[in-house]
Structure formats: structure tokens, C-alpha cells
Amino acid sequence: MSKQMMLEVTEVEPLTPLVTRFRFEHPEKAPLPIFSGGAHVVVEMPDGEMLRRNAYSLISDPNDASGYEIAVRREETGRGGSRYMHSEVTPGTRMRISVPTNLFALDPRARKHVLIAGGIGITPFLSHLRQLDLLQQPFELHYAARSRDEAAGLKLLPKSARIHVQISDEGNRMDLGEILTGQPIGTHVYVCGPEGLISAVLDVAARHGWPKGALHSEAFASPPPGKPFTVTLAKSGRTIEVSASQSLLEALEAAKVEIDWSCRGGACGRCETKVAACDGQIEHNDHWLSRDERAEQKKIMPCMSRFTGAALVLDL
């Protein structure tokens, strides 16, 4: 678990009908830890009986210790974290925020950075842009969104010939083949957005012979809701019910089972848990386990993954 700070919400600004910006400051205006571009924080939400923890990319200047800002897209079909942020959080609300962690850093060896964002996936790039400005490294940003309602970044992006926006409602499509050809040797590519965009970028890049080490991706995944299921803990014999709007990690936490975590988005590997027995199918929604590990069903990432079947026993 991360070190946390109790911060106060000082600004709530709707950027679009779907996306709202939140600013957090220290209640006594103490400086917050500075961070690196691409970092995220985990925000704790005491939602009724349930304690939710969602990870959000920081969109503010990494060198600005006066506050942290995030942009949250309202997900009507999510587990409820973003609805909580949109409906319950107002200026003056105090919330527990983790220290920043970075799983999507820029590679400073790059001669040039090509940033590709889809929808709310623009968020980590907003702090990357500040860092690139500081380091004075060449970049281009390609930002695709379905509609202007979704394109929260429009209000937050500087005007620059190096920033290209495509709104698909308006008939503009991102041409990945065009973006990924003709880049100078030593260019690194970063993509954040829906699964489809990430796999498309990685596919096109592979076809054009990009080295794997030059490709970086972050899915802005939050745990998907699903059907309720039950898990058994091998050591204590306890059974725990996971509701439709809960992740397995949240259900374990609600049952006071100690488990280590960091990103809560299936990327960092901290909550990896051994499976003692599995009669059924694990729905692996993480980016941590390999294809072989998924097939074996001997490990699960409780922050993201769910289960359907007769029995799942965890080595806890």
C-alpha cells in the first residue's frame, strides 16, 4: 500500500459534459511531493459501506508542488468510482490521496517522443507535455476522441503545431500508418487509451518493424464490473462474496484481508495472488500475467480479474 496524504479539493471544473477536472491541495497549503510525467495517484472514496480506490493520472505540472490535478470521465456502467467523484465531491471535500507512482514514464533516451492518446487516455500525456517542455525534447502528440464531449484534453492542451487532434464524429480519423512511418531512428512511441487503440498501435508498429523497447502503453483500465462470484481463502477457510460492482481486491479489503497493491489497474504486479484451486474460468483483465500464466490459472490479479465457475480457492 502507498503512503497517503489527506488533501482538500479546491477546484471542480467540468471540462466537457462527461469529464470533470479536480484539483487537490494540502489543507495547510504545504507543498506536495513533485513527480515525473505520466505518474498517477490513487484516490480513496468512502462510498457508503464500500471504500473505493481508483487510480488517476496526474494532469498538472510535475514541477508544481502547490496542488495535484486529475480529470475523471463519468462511466455510467462502471463500478461507481467515477460516479462518486462526479456526484459527491465538491470544493472543500477532503480525500485520501496516495503519493504519485509512475508506471508510464517517458524514456529519456528517446531522440523524439510520439504520443498517441485516445479519449480520456489523454490524461498522462498532459503531465508528459510539461516534462518534455522542461527537457526541451522533440515530440508530437496525436489525440483522437469520438466527440468533443469526450475530448476533455481540448481545454487543457496548449496550442501547438506539434499537437494534432482528430474528432471521429467530425469525420477525422487517426492514420496510424502515417504516424508510425518516417519517424527518425531513436523515436519512442507512447499510447494510452482504449484497448482497441493500444493493440492497433502495437500491431501497426510491429508491422513497420519498430523495436519493442521503443513502444510504451498504458491502458486506462479500471476494474470492470461483472457477475457476482464467491472465493474461498485456503488458509482461513473463509468464503468471500464479490458483488457485481466490486473488484475482488475491494471485496478482500472489505473483509479485512491484508493484500499488497499499488496501481489497482492490473499493471504493477503488486497484488499478484496464488490460486490454490480453480474449478471454472478466471477472467484475466490485467496486463501483468503472461499468456501462459493466464492459461495455467495458478495466479490471479485481484485488482482487475474476476471469476465464473464452481469454485475459486486463493492461497490467502
Partner 1 sequence: MTLQFNDETFRGDYSYFNTEHAIKRLPFPFDRDEYMYSVNIEAHPGGPKGSPFEFRFDVDEHYVSEMKDRAITLDDDPLRCQSLPHMELAGWDLLEIIMVSKAEDYPNLFTLHRDGNRWHWINRPLGIEQRFTFLDPTTLPCGPMEYITRQTQGDFALLHERDGNLWMDAGMVTSQADWSLDFDIGMNFFEWHAPVPKAKQMGVFDKALKFLLAMQQGQSYRRLNWTMTVNPRLDTSPENYHKWGPEKRTITPENVGRKQHLRIELQSFWRLPRSNAIAFPIRCYLACLEDICTQPKWGRRLHRVLRDIDPTLAEYKGFAVNQDMIVNYLSQFDDGAPTSPGIFPDA
Between vectors from CA 305 to CA 21 and to CA 201, what angle results, nearest 5°?
65
Long-range CB pairs of 248-251, under 8 A, 24+ apart, other chains included: 248/300, 248/302, 248/303, 248/305, 248/306, 248/307, 249/223, 249/302, 249/303, 250/50, 250/51, 250/52, 250/53, 250/223
Cα–Cα distance between 147 and 170 in angstroms, integer? Answer: 8
Within positions 173 to 202, which residues make up the interface with partner 1, using CB under 8 A? none
Q: Which of residues 49, 109, 171, 196 is near partner 1 by CB under 8 A? A: 109
Shortest reach from residue 246's CB to partner 1, in Å: 25
Binding mask 205-224 for partner 1 (x = CB under 8 A): --------x-----------
Give the nearer residue to partner 1 in terms of CB position, either 222 or 262.
262
Q: Which of 31, 63, 236, 239 lies at the binding interface for partner 1 (CB under 8 A)? A: 63
Sign, Cα dihedral of 309, 296, 231, 50: negative
User: How far apart are alpha carbons 102 and 125 in whole angstroms?
Assistant: 12
With CB under 8 A as the rule, give the number of residues binding partner 1: 24
Contact status: 78 vs partner 1 (CB under 8 A): no
Spell out the residues 6+ positions from residue 278 whose beta carbon is closer than 8 angstroms to its own. 297, 298, 307, 309, 311, 312, 313
Q: Which is nearer to partner 1, 34 or 277 (CB)?
A: 34
The total number of residues written for the chain in this structure:
316
Candidates 269, 276, 311, 315; binder of partner 1 (CB under 8 A) is 269
- Range 143-177 burial, b when 16+ CB lie within 10 A, else e: bbbeeeebbbbeebbeeeeebebbbeeeeeebebe
For residue 35, the minimal CB distance to partner 1 (Å) is: 6
Q: Which is nearer to partner 1, 79 or 188 (CB)?
A: 188
User: Using the rule CB under 8 A, is 105 a contact of partner 1?
Assistant: yes
Q: Is 66 in the site for partner 1 (CB under 8 A)?
A: no
Return the residue of 14, 31, 33, 92 that touches partner 1, per CB under 8 A: 33
Q: Does 277 bind partner 1 (CB under 8 A)?
A: no
Nearer to partner 1 by C-beta: 107 or 241? 107
Contact 73, 120 (CB under 8 A): yes
Using the rule CB under 8 A, is 3 a contact of partner 1?
yes
134: contact with partner 1 by CB under 8 A: yes
What is the C-alpha to C-alpha distance for residues 149 and 144, in angstroms, rounded to an integer?
A: 12
Instruction: Report, in Å, the least distance between residue 137 CB and partner 1.
Output: 10
Residues that bind partner 1 (CB under 8 A): 2-3, 33-36, 39, 62-63, 99-102, 105, 107-109, 134-135, 213, 262, 268-270
